[in-house]
């Protein structure tokens, strides 16, 4: 099992460019999440998906869109990147319900210049 | 924000010593989890404690939860250099439909000196 995989590992964008971060999991989890991690801020939830076909906003959704393509895949799109979106992005998945641990991908380090 | 706060922000100890880090949060919770993050990696789950539990052990880890003070502590006994990492607490206070939303703290950076 690969667990949670993310692509790309690194990306540099110019302000205004767009890109999609890809995430896939092979653990048959219903719930998937996108977080961003900034120094001194911990992890902040951008969007999550409790099941295929559903998505909900987290703490910091502005400037992002998501797609739950199927049970395995959950993508994050930046339509018009801004320097404030420079961050490390993590995808995670879990079983649905209370008390389940989240499994994290290795992260995507994004720099917007 | 529900976001937890870990204390201290950074901790440096000698190998073999115990490390204690604390987490405080703002609202009622269902569960509290601790995660570890090695430099440049994703987070890895360590232990979960439910709101009706006061203490839990897993190997060299001991977690306590005080819901009246809205705080938790993580104790790592007999630390090793390999324990060097950042440690985060996470609370799932909001249960939206069939999903659950996690709030992570800001983390404690632990350095264990060989």
- Residue A98's pLDDT is what? 73
Chain B interface, best mutation among A49, A98, A105, by max B CB count within 10 A: A98
Q: What percent of chain A has pLDDT over 90?
A: 77
* Residue among B4, B42, B106 minimizing CB distance to A105: B42
Separation of alpha carbons B32 and B48, rounded Å: 6
Q: What is the mean pLDDT of residues A82-105?
A: 92
Query: Which tokens in the block code for residue B107?
Result: 């983390």
Predicted confidence (pLDDT) per residue in A17-52, tens digit: 999 999 999 999 999 999 999 987 789 999 999 888
pLDDT at A46: 94
**With helix as H, strand as E and coil as C, how does chain B read?**
CCCCEEECCEEEEECCCCEEEEEECCCCCCEEEEEEECCCCCEEEEEEEECCCCEEEECCEEEEEECCCCEEEEEECCCCHHHCEEEEEEEEEECCCCCCEEEECCCEEEEEEC
**What is the Cα B5 distance to its own chain's centre?**
10
Distance CA B106, CA B74 (A): 15
Nearest CA in chain B to A50: B99
Question: What token pair was written down for B75?
Answer: 């104790």
Residue B105 φ/ψ, nearest 5 degrees? -80, 180
- What pLDDT is stored for residue B5 in this prediction? 81
Q: What is the pLDDT of residue A81?
A: 97
To the nearest whole number, what is the mean pLDDT of chain A? 93
Say if the Cβ atoms of A56 and B100 lie within 8 Å.
no
Tell the residue number behind the tokens 């951008």, with chain if given.
Answer: A46
Beta-carbon count within 10 A of B26 CB: 14
**Which residue ranges in chain B fall short of pLDDT 50?**
none
DSSP string, A51-86: STT--EE-S--TTEEEEE-SSSBEEEEESS--GGG-
d(CA A56, CA A61): 9
Structure tokens, B4: 């937890």
Integer Cα distance of B5 and A66 in angstroms:
28
Which residues of A, range 12-71, sit inside 8 Å of B by Cβ? 30-31, 33, 35, 40-45, 48-51, 54, 56, 58-59
Closest CA to A98 of B10, B81, B60, B101: B101
Query: Which of B44, B45, B98 is nearest residue A96 as measured by Cβ atoms?
Result: B98
Q: Which residues of A touch B52 (CB under 8 A)?
A: none
CB B109 within 8 A of CB B86: yes
CA dist A24 and A99 (Å) reads 22
């Amino acid at each position: 099992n690969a667990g949670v995989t993310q692509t790309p590992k690194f990306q540099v964008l110019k302000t205004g460019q767009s890109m999609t971060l890809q995430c896939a999991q092979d653990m048959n989890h219903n719930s998937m999440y996108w977080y961003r991690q900034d120094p001194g801020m911990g992890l902040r939830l951008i969007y999550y998906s409790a099941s295929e076909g559903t998505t909900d906003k987290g703490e910091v959704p502005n400037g992002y869109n998501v797609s739950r393509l199927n049970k395995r895949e959950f993508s994050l799109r930046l339509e018009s990147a801004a320097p404030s979106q420079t961050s490390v992005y993590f995808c995670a998945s879990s079983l649905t319900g209370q008390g389940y641990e989240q499994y994290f991908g290795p992260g995507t380090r994004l720099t917007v210049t | 924000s529900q976001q937890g706060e870990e204390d201290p922000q950074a901790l440096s100890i000698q190998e073999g010593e115990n490390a204690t880090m604390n987490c405080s949060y703002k609202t009622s919770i269902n569960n509290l989890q601790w995660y570890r993050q090695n430099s440049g990696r994703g987070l890895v789950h360590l232990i979960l404690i439910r709101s009706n539990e006061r203490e839990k052990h897993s190997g060299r880890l001991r977690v306590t939860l005080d819901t009246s003070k809205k705080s938790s502590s993580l104790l790592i006994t007999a630390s090793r250099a390999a324990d060097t990492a950042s440690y985060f607490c996470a609370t799932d206070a909001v249960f939206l439909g069939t999903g659950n939303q996690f709030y992570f703290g800001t983390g404690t950076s632990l350095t264990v000196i060989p």
